[in-house]
Amino acid sequence: MAADGPSDALARLADERVDHRFKGLPPDADGLTVGELAAQRRNLFTGGFTTPVLALSAERLEHNLRLMETYTERHGLAFAPHGKTSMAPQLFRRQIDRGAWGITLAVPHQVRVARAFGIRRIFLANEVVDGPALRWMSAELDADPEVRIVCYVDSVRGVEQMDAALAGAARPLDVVVELAAGDEARTGVRTEKEAMEVADAVARTRTLRLVGVAGYEGEVPQATPERVRAWLRRLVALAAALDGSGRFAGAEVGEIIVSAGGSAWFDTVAEVFAELPELSRPVLKLLRSGAYVSHDDGHYRRLTPFNRIPEEGALEPAFRLWAQVVSRPSATQAFVNAGKRDAAHDLDLPTAQVVRPLDGTGERPATGVAVTALSDQHAWLRTEPGAGPEVGDWVGLGLSHPCTSFDKWPLIPVAEADGTVVDYVRTFF
Amino acid sequence: MAADGPSDALARLADERVDHRFKGLPPDADGLTVGELAAQRRNLFTGGFTTPVLALSAERLEHNLRLMETYTERHGLAFAPHGKTSMAPQLFRRQIDRGAWGITLAVPHQVRVARAFGIRRIFLANEVVDGPALRWMSAELDADPEVRIVCYVDSVRGVEQMDAALAGAARPLDVVVELAAGDEARTGVRTEKEAMEVADAVARTRTLRLVGVAGYEGEVPQATPERVRAWLRRLVALAAALDGSGRFAGAEVGEIIVSAGGSAWFDTVAEVFAELPELSRPVLKLLRSGAYVSHDDGHYRRLTPFNRIPEEGALEPAFRLWAQVVSRPSATQAFVNAGKRDAAHDLDLPTAQVVRPLDGTGERPATGVAVTALSDQHAWLRTEPGAGPEVGDWVGLGLSHPCTSFDKWPLIPVAEADGTVVDYVRTFF
């Protein structure tokens, strides 16, 4: 199998049976394979799908994948999109086919999913001190010389635990020192001095190999472009200091990794990474943005760097959650059958975007319709006089936060603009 | 197959392969069947499980199942525990084995899961106007005379849509009129007059059969025992009024269903349902509480009726989420590797309960450790001086809201008090 080449496991996803595991799918497709159902090219609105059903836009997904490929190429960035967002091996594959260096993940379980689908370059953007997980990762490295896993370190104690867990490994595990985005920020060393101490602890092991630095500018407190820029310059300077003091030297390191970049500040990352001084080895400037793949209608619509750089393009929200009005108990209230089990609700409530009357008269904007609350299995709508919708109508909802949208749907129809479902995306959470 | 008898599908769950689909499980169990892994009786803490991992307590689960069996028997209530909480067919089976009349569910997709595992009496506590879903339910009724599905109606328009979708059904679908818990409450008719109109609309169809009334006292605004009692008396009076006006008469109805009861007010439901006047037919007083099966360490710990009636017993929180400290960047901060993807976060944050140091010195209370925030894949801990925990330690977290805890874990180890994992519960969301 070629590095990150197509995997049999990926092909076998089309052989899974459509059944009770997958909400929203047509009951009369029960027993078909996913591939057979896709070949039927059913319509999302008339093809027997049940509500609620989350759909991805085929065109917008493709647009977003292409836009970030172009963006990272233009700015000389390597790209390891954060796979925790979708946990969808089919999307991992499309990201890699569009030039991604590899896939970023957050916890070892997610690495297992990626490895099961043949992903070979994995940036595990987190500390890992879990013995069984480390031994499993080590076995993956030892079994295939083309597999590469890079993870974070931010404490001497953690390094020592990793070393103990990895005793007997044939190949070292690559690590990068994580620099915290501030004193009250999340994980990562608080000071350059600690970074040096952690680097030295790594050097004392035979099981770990220091290959760079990383951090997450999304946690910079009270973030402004200036503050994010200042922190990114600290990160870049840390890489230079570790390099200048010979701390990447001992370990046959072919390139030095410098990584940052969520979905709110990748323009600033591109800007500061462009300033990187020459180091002793080539530098892999690794961006990790993940939310772009579906984008959203809330949090990331507000925060996307493309709002600051419209000349470079615009992401398009690719999710729409379709729910059906089951109750219209008063002139101002309506209830649809999608709730916390179906929609992201951690950053914002869903927003009502369009109404599709049951009578087939087509889609209209959901003017005067607002989502005011979510129950486990209902959304509460407040409606202005004359706004509708009526019992039976479908309401298309926009979502905020891709990470908590994907994780509620194990199999997601991908529909073209006219409703034709052309593919199904499987997720593993 | 006997009514609600054991299903082959349930037995086949033990034949599923342990693999990348199931987070938290031991990587070295990959390829074993779930049944084989269970037979190994591994220890949760030393048996190769990876963090984070959610565990159910075997003893507490059994205690809770037994307590609600006893409670409902003592109060003459039939019981259809809400299955949306767990969506775990193995637990549905144990609930039915302990005398439950059937299983309550919230949306047709959940009915599909229950039917796939042989559940025959289903109380679908929601309005359903989805054509493909209604036709599928009708086909289930027509295929097996022992299958019974009851769902809600609250509008004439909804009744007409259901009737249109069900044209051609051999057996009618049973429906109950839902009475809202207040003018600003969720679904359900607002007035008795509307209830009569909806009942009359049902009577005009040949596809629906009116069998009772239902509602959800958990939505009574500014609930107090007095307000909940008052609303439950309205519900009971509505049943009597529909019966007195002959609206259950035309349809060969063997018993009249009167249903209420979430997990916060079942004592008041029992009290008011005990006052039910004699109706023209036997009454099935159907309680639907679901959260009791795991109970919790937050929302339902505060709200459980057993706080008011300690002489009748006490539920025990059966979940514990085990996460590992991956970073300890300052004297007051620690980060564990479980976040929004792993823990309920809609009603309360998780609470730190116990610490298990990596050195195997055993469990201690997590005194001085507080969860202050969740990221997607991290929990933020605030620690008092000297409280620990250190990098590598496991932290046992208590959760709030069973419904949004179960739905993050497709396969949940069930562990005895000493950590021996004796079973695995599969969920379908």
DSSP string computed for B9-47: HHHHGGGSBPSTTSTTS-GGGTTSBHHHHHHTT-BTTTS
Q: Strand B411-415 relative to strand B421-426: parallel, antiparallel, unpaired?
A: antiparallel
What distance in Å separates residue B130's CA from the closest CA in chain A? 7
- What per-residue confidence (pLDDT) applies to A360? 80
Q: State whether B195 and B133 are in the same domain.
A: yes
Q: How far is the C-alpha of B348 from the C-alpha of A349, rounded, in Å?
A: 17
Identify all chain A residues contacting B136, using CB atoms and an 8 Å cutoff: 27-28, 50
A87-135 pLDDT, tens digit per residue, is 999 999 999 999 999 999 999 999 999 999 999 999 999 999 999 999 9
State whether B365 and B246 are in the same domain.
no
- Residue B304 CA to residue B206 CA, distance in Å, equals 41
- Neighbour tally for A283: CB within 10 Å: 22
Give the Cβ contact number of residue A378 at 10 Å. Answer: 25
User: Which residue, B273, B289, B305, sits at the end of a domain?
Assistant: B289
Q: Give the pair of three-digit tokens for residue A308.
A: 């600051």
d(CA B306, CA B70): 13
Could you give the C-alpha distances from A7 to A93, A120, A412, in angstroms and in order? 9, 11, 20
**Which distant-in-sequence residues (6+ apart) come within 8 Å of B113 by Cβ?**
A20, B87, B89, B428
Q: CA torsion angle for B36, B37, B42, B46 (degrees, to 10)?
A: 140
φ, ψ (nearest 5 deg) of residue A202: -60, -40
- How sure is the predictor about A6, in pLDDT bands with cuts at 50, 70 and 90? low
If one counts the domains in chain A, the total is: 2
Q: Is there a single domain that holds both residue A216 and residue A114?
A: yes
Name the residue in chain B with its Cα closest to that of A25: B109
Minimal Cβ distance to B428: which of A21, A115, A326: A21
Backbone angles phi, psi at A193, to 5 degrees: -60, -45
Q: Concatenated DSSP letters for B354-419?
A: EEE-TTS---EE-TTEEEEEE-SS-EEEEE-TT----TT-EEEEE-S-THHHHTT-SEEEEE-TTS
- Neighbouring residues of B102: CB distance < 8 A, sequence distance ≥ 6: B4, B80, B96, B119, B120, B121, B122, B123, B148
Measured between beta carbons, the chain A residues lying within 8 angstroms of B323 are none
The residues, any chain, with a CB within 8 Å of residue B44's CB and separated by 6 or more, are: B53, B55, B322, B413, B415, B419, B420, B421
Domain for residue B307, yes or no?
Answer: no
Closest Cα in chain B to A27: B136
Q: Is A90 found in the same domain as A17?
A: no
- Residue B312: CB atoms within 10 A of its CB come to 15
Confidence of residue B251 (pLDDT cuts 50, 70, 90): low
Whole-angstrom distance, CA of residue B271 vs CA of residue A250: 76
d(CA A403, CA A307): 21
Distance, in Å, from the CA atom of A166 to the CA atom of A187, rounded to the nearest integer, reads: 22
Q: How many CB atoms lie within 10 A of CB B288?
A: 26
Contact A367, A338 (CB under 8 A): no
- What pLDDT, on the 0 to 100 scale, is given for residue A191? 98
Write the CB contacts of B376 (distance below 8 Å, at least 6 apart in sequence): A84, A106, A403, A404, B339, B340, B341
Q: Is B1's pLDDT higher than 70?
A: no
Distance CA B234, CA B177 (A): 13
Q: Are B107 and B176 contained in the same domain?
A: yes
- pLDDT of B392 reads 98
| CA A293 – CA B302 distance, rounded (Å) | 41
Q: Tell which of A43, A111, A127, A348 to mutate to test the B interface (max B CBs under 10 Å).
A: A127
What count of residues does chain A have? 429
B195 and B157, same domain (yes or no): yes
A166: which chain B residues are within 8 Å (Cβ-Cβ)?
A: none
Structure tokens at A157: 């104690």
- B310 within a domain of the structure (yes/no): no
- Summarised one tens digit per residue, pLDDT across range B321-344 is 999 999 999 999 999 999 999 999
CATH number of the domain enclosing B394 = 2.40.37.20
Classify residue A50 by burial, with Cβ atoms within 10 Å: 0-12, 13-18, 19+: buried
Percentage of the residues of chain A whose pLDDT score is greater than 70: 98
Handedness of CA B208, B212, B213, B214 (dihedral sign): negative
Residue A51: is its pLDDT beyond 90? yes
Local confidence band at B114 (pLDDT 50, 70, 90 cut-offs): very high
From the list B180, B186, B326, the residue facing A129 with the nearest CB is B326
Tokens at B181, concatenated: 């818990």
In this predicted structure, the answer to whether residue B252 has a pLDDT above a threshold of 90 is no
pLDDT of B3 > 70? The answer is no
B144 and B265 belong to one structural domain: yes
Model pLDDT for residues B254-307, shown as the tens digit of each residue: 899 999 999 999 999 999 999 999 999 999 999 999 999 999 999 999 999 999
CB nearest to B187's CB, from A161, A187, A335: A335
pLDDT at B6 over 70: no
End residue of a domain, out of B245, B274, B289: B289
Nearest by CB to residue B329, choosing from A84, A113, A190, is: A190
**Closest Cα to residue B162, out of B187, B129, B140?**
B129
With residue A174 as reference, give the H or E element that holds it: strand A173-178
Please say which residue of B289, B324, B342 terminates a domain.
B289
- SS3 for A46-115 is CCCCCCCEEEEEHHHHHHHHHHHHHHHHHCCCEECCECCCCCCHHHHHHHHHCCCCCEEECCHHHHHHHH
Is A301 part of a structural domain of the chain? no
ipTM: 0.96
Q: Is residue B303 part of a domain?
A: no
B317 neighbors B109 (Cβ within 8 angstroms): no
Between chains, do B133 and A27 touch, taking CB under 8 Å as contact? yes
Average pLDDT over residues A29-39: 97
Instruction: Say whether pLDDT at B424 is over 60.
Output: yes
Instruction: Report yes or no: A54 and A405 within 8 Å, Cβ to Cβ.
Output: yes
pLDDT tens digits for B10-47? 999 999 999 999 999 999 999 999 999 999 999 999 99
Grade residue A280 by pLDDT with cuts at 50, 70 and 90.
very high
Q: Is the pLDDT of residue A2 over 80?
A: no
Over residues A377-402, the mean pLDDT reads: 97
Q: Do B235 and B381 share a domain, yes or no?
A: no
A15 and A156 within one domain:
no
In a domain, B117, yes or no: yes
Give how far Cα A146 sits from Cα of A95, A121, A125, A207, Å: 19, 8, 20, 18
Distance (Å) from the C-alpha of residue B278 to the closest C-alpha of chain A?
A: 30
On whether residue B114 sits in a domain, the answer given is yes
The reply to whether B142 and B280 lie within a common domain is yes
The residue in chain B having the minimum alpha-carbon distance to the alpha carbon of residue A381 is B186
**B351-356 and B333-336 beta bridge pairing:** unpaired
DSSP H or E stretch at residue B110: helix B108-116
Domain containing residue A182: CATH number: 3.20.20.10
In a domain, residue B272? The reply is: yes
Burial class (CB in 10 A: 0-12, 13-18, 19+), A18: buried
Per DSSP, the residues of B284-341 read EEEE---GGGT--SSHHHHH-GGGT-GGG------EEEEEEEEEEEETTEEEES--TT
The whole-angstrom distance between A278's CA and the closest CA on chain B is 30
Report the pLDDT value the prediction gives residue B178, as an integer from 0 to 100.
Answer: 98
Report d(CA B67, CA B310) in Å as an integer: 12
The shortest CB-CB distance from B327 to any of A23, A112, A127 is to A127
- Residue A349 near residue A371 (C-beta atoms within 8 A): yes
Q: How distant, in Å, are the alpha carbons of B25, B44, B61, B332, B415 from that of B395?
A: 17, 13, 21, 16, 16
The partner residue sitting opposite A27, judged by closest CB among B49, B136, B328, is B136
Q: Are residues A17 and A141 in the same domain?
A: no
Q: What is the mean pLDDT of chain B?
A: 96
Q: Which domain holds residue A37?
A: 8-57+316-426
Beta bridge partners of B414: B56, B423
Dig out the tokens for B345 from the structure: 């976060």
Cβ of B376 and A403 within 8 Å?
Answer: yes
Q: Is residue A64 part of a domain?
A: no
Please report, rounded to a whole number, the percentage of residues in chain A having pLDDT higher than 90: 95
Q: How far apart are CA A403 and CA A406, in angstroms?
A: 6
CB contact under 8 A, B329 and A188: yes
Condensed to tens digits (0 to 9), the pLDDT of residues A153-166 reads 999 999 999 999 99
Instruction: Judge if A25 and A79 occupy the same domain.
Output: no
The verdict on a CB contact (< 8 Å) between A132 and B27 is yes
Q: Which residue has the tokens 């909802």?
A: A397
Please answer yes or no on whether B130 and A28 come within 8 Å at the CB atom: no
Please state whether beta strands A148-153 and B78-79 pair in parallel, antiparallel, or not at all (unpaired).
unpaired
Cis peptide leading into residue B329 (ω within 30°): no
